[in-house]
A = this chain, B = another copy of it.
């Protein structure tokens, strides 16, 4: 797999630039400014552009032309940013990607509308790239939007519930995070002209890598550092989120350890000054290792599903992407 490393890096660098420029143009010069400026501010703050790159990689994997999918690539990133803007309101988040969130910089009505307009522009961009495949592509896109809402609702509901099983958690992140990543692969595969089998394989890759990605996100939220993350460390504990780490810790802990975890539920979160002691508890309970194993499990499932892809280089690229995600710090 190492042999494609340089080529893969070039691919990422080159395509990310194209996607970034597409995204800039998507919101620039639109009127009224009061609507589009906040969205522009948010989009321009960066991001890995993982989802557009997955669209493009999937186009490549089925032998399609990248040129036909840049609008769709921008569309999935616009949709993703919509979810971030609205989630940040709901989660009371102050910071994201090292900038102040929209609802804090402006106000909640502005952030609600900015999010809504991102959805609408996402559909506009997606429609540009689907001649003849509109129904299929738009259906996949819409399905993922439905699931994202369902997942976010489950996530909020879990904050208030005492007992949440790890299975329920996996279903929640499958909807909240993995569905959109799965859709990126499906969208690229359809627009690229892939066969039904190829679309399904890529969908599976997206779904499983998406689950791995979210568990990694949970992990980074507490073991990462603020500069890399671009947001405060330990936010999930502060908000009382039922992350993989928390649920796993709750599952295996006893006595005063368990009581300490139950307090997070009871108090609907913790104060920032207690993050360190919870981090130590997680460490002692070995849940960081458990999370890493879970990430590896879903990553392997993802890689297994694309073993049959014809294009060896693309398989290599997907493997490198998976590797990148596991080793990321933000």
Contacts and interface: CB of A to CB of B under 8 A. Distances in A.
Contact of A89 (B108, B131, B138): B108
Contacts of A225: none
Given A108-B89, A153-B32, A134 B138 contact: yes
A137 to B, nearest CB: 9
Contacts of A86: 112-113, 116
A34 interface: yes
Nearest to A141: B123
Contacts of A131: 135
A113 B127 contact: no
Contacts of A119: 116, 119, 145
Interface residues of A, number: 38
A241 to B, nearest CB: 14
A108 B108 contact: yes
Given A90-B112, A90-B113, A109-B90, A153 B123 contact: no
Interface in A148-191: 149-150, 152-154, 156-157
Contacts of A139: 124, 127
Nearest to A92: B109
Given A34-B156, A89-B108, A112-B90, A120 B138 contact: no
A300 interface: no
A153 B143 CA distance: 27
Contacts of A35: 149-150, 153
